[in-house]
Amino acid sequence: DTGVSQNPRHKITKRGQNVTFRCDPISEHNRLYWYRQTLGQGPEFLTYFQNEAQLEKSRLLSDRFSAERPKGSFSTLEIQRTEQGDSAMYLCASSLEGRETYEQYFGPGTRLTVT
Amino acid sequence: TQLLEQSPQFLSIQEGENLTVYCNSSSVFSSLQWYRQEPGEGPVLLVTVVTGGEVKKLKRLTFQFGDARKDSSLHITAAQPGDTGLYLCAVNNAGGTSYGKLTFGQGTILTVHP
């Protein structure tokens, strides 16, 4: 399967702990996106990478959030000092530069529960 | 206010019924996408519409892009339980970005009862 993969699929953590999620995009895709989705809502944009460069961060991404894509392949999203309000589904998507319609392919997501 | 307003928010119907979901905005878009998302999974792209007035069909699903490229609709004929899910419309390049950041509507939760 050459789709977008995310690990772990589920994470339960206590408030104040740090968590890290991983995303492996479709291999030839150079654009990678992170979104957050709360129950019953559409995904909201968090951040975007083109190759290894992080080119935009949403105001939703507080200082406790950091994302990396060190070699322009997989990406990690870390949340430090988690809060209950961080509980959500974290989605990763990838796309190929040059496609005019910017079709994005999503991974299955990581469901975070902060207790 | 949401850039994309979807209606209805919830739809519960019986198998075999027809339904239409709407995605409206006051802004003009170069393209619009529809996704379907099942519980615990990521959204899956169904279709991209590009031209004003365009109609695309995917089996029992019919997608239409408004003439002015401000709105879109999704019509499902003879709904089946397998159609159950969250239907999302999305646009890219909102705010003038050049790389395709997606902005989503809040979605329509469809439940089709056997």
- How far apart, in whole angstroms, are the C-alpha atoms of residue B27 and residue A43? 20
Query: Residue A97's closest chain B neighbor by CA?
Result: B99
Structure tokens at B112: 């089709």
In this complex, the residue of B40, B93, B100 whose CB is nearest that of residue A104 is B100
Query: Could you say which residues from 23 to 52 on chain B have a Cβ atom under 8 Å away from some Cβ of chain A?
Result: 31, 33, 35, 40-45, 48, 50
pLDDT in tens, A22-38: 999 999 898 999 999 99
| Low-confidence winner among A1-5, A48-52, B47-51, B105-109 (lowest mean pLDDT) | A1-5
- Residues of chain A short of pLDDT 70, as ranges, are 1, 98-102
Check if the beta carbon of residue A11 is closer than 8 Å to that of residue A112: yes
Query: How does DSSP assign B1-58, residue by residue?
Result: --SSEEE-SEEEEETT--EEEEEE-SS--S-EEEEEE-TTS--EEEEEE-STT-EEEE
